[in-house]
């Protein structure tokens, strides 16, 4: 049985064989992960369609066209191989298991089809030594002082090189190309504002437990901002539009891209028709995207068709940044870290949980008035979310 680079989208023509998860000549079982491939948009995991002996024809590190045969599986088992059950595990789970010293073969997977997840590995991991103890420090006392010298001896010749050269992955190359294109081909500007999240925090605290019990997912901050943006985009449709040649294409729907940081780069899966989604549906889809990213199961279809994007740098501690457009979109909202800050309310200085907001927009079709108005509207919705929450 041949192992080929699959077709993953009309715009994808080649892929990098990033990593083989099994050795050449080893025995594999049906549905067992064999290798990871990377395109300029996503990372995929190829599984065995049958059991047998693996032959690798294209080694890791080579980029080949879609449809290329990169290996094969022959019936039988490797010489001297002992029959054993090989539990399926996501790449993230395998990496974590290696770091924690956990034998994945001993775990019972709770993921789809018995797949081992990172959470399964963490539950099985033995807590590390928290005492911070290390090797004893050997103190050497000298009877005579060591003479001081300013002579600089050359470094030993056996030192390893202090620089490394690594080829860009297809995803990183694509990210670099798109970011450069944004700077060169758009008139990008950014407007800023800040929002008081007191009432959102109170809503999450008061309804969070019931929300989780009812819908099986946590009530996060992102769903409030998605719904607020959908309302704002209805009022300021140019921010939800795109330039196509000499035309402006207006979208009467909100396909909101949610930026998710992955090990190999940023990906932006899309919440389709987000204006029609309930808070629980938004949170469930975002959680599903996060799992897909972690397990390299994100599909090209998940990334296509966005009309506006949201990026939350606050999860990494960013206080303020300028988000960059995701072409052909004309707007992207940047969320940031929540900080308790002194603000004036009714003539009194009080402490409130504040978040800076940033809207980057394409000034070719979005005027400053529209950008400022949209950002102000988002601020108003997240500062008074009760009506938005009840209607959503």
Q: Which of 375, 364, 381, 378 is closest to 238 using CA atoms?
A: 364
Active-site pick, 207, 215, 251, 363: 363
> Does residue 74 come out as left (phi exceeding 0), alpha (psi in the -120 to 50 range) or beta?
beta
Cα separations in angstroms, 299 against 56, 150, 274: 25, 61, 19
Verify whether residue 346 is a known catalytic residue. no
Residue 236 in contact with residue 374, Cβ under 8 Å? yes
Sequence-separated (6 or more) residues with CB below 8 Å from residue 226: 256, 258, 271, 274, 277, 282, 310
Instruction: Give the DSSP letter string of 282-344.
Output: HHHHHHHHHHHHHTT---HHHHS--SEEEEEGGGGT-SS--PPP-TT-SEEEEE--EEEEEEE
Nearest-10 Cα torsion for 51, 56, 58, 59: 120
Verify whether residue 363 is a known catalytic residue. yes
Give the Cα separation of 20 and 352 in Å (integer): 51
Give catalytic residue positions: 363, 367
């Amino acid at each position: 049985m041949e192992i080929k680079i699959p077709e993953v989208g009309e715009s994808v023509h080649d892929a990098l064989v990033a990593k083989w998860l099994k050795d050449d000549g080893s025995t594999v079982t049906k549905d067992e992960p064999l290798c990871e491939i990377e395109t300029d948009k996503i990372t995929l995991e190829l599984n065995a369609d049958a059991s047998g002996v693996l032959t690798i024809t294209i080694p890791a590190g080579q980029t080949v066209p879609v449809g290329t045969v990169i290996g094969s599986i022959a019936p039988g088992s490797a010489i001297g191989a002992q029959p054993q059950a090989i539990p399926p595990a996501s790449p993230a789970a395998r990496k974590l298991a290696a770091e924690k010293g956990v034998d994945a073969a001993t775990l019972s997977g709770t993921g789809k089809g018995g797949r081992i997840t990172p959470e399964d590995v963490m539950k099985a991991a033995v807590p590390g030594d928290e005492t911070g103890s290390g090797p004893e420090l050997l103190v050497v006392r000298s009877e005579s002082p060591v003479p001081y010298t300013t002579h600089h001896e050359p470094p030993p010749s056996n030192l390893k090189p202090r620089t490394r050269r690594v080829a860009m992955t297809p995803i990183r190359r694509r990210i670099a190309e798109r970011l450069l294109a944004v700077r060169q081909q758009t008139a990008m500007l950014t407007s800023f504002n800040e929002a008081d999240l007191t009432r959102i925090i109170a809503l999450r605290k008061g309804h969070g437990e019931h929300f989780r019990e009812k819908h099986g997912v946590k009530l996060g901050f992102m769903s409030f901002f998605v719904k607020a943006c959908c309302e704002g985009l209805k009022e300021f449709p140019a921010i939800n539009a795109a330039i196509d040649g000499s035309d402006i294409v207006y979208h009467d729907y909100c396909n909101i891209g949610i930026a998710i940081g992955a090990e190999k780069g940023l990906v932006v899966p899309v919440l389709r028709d987000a204006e029609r989604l309930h808070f629980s549906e938004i949170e469930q889809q975002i959680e599903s995207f996060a799992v897909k990213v972690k397990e390299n199961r994100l599909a090209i279809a998940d990334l296509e068709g966005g009309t506006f994007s949201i990026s939350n740098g606050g999860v990494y501690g960013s206080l303020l940044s300028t988000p960059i457009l995701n072409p052909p979109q004309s707007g992207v909202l940047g969320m940031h870290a929540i900080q308790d800050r002194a603000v004036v309310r009714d003539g009194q200085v009080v402490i409130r949980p504040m978040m800076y907001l940033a809207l980057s927009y394409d000034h070719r079709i979005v005027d400053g008035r529209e950008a400022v108005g949209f950002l102000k509207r988002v601020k108003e919705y997240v500062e008074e979310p009760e009506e938005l929450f009840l209607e959503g």
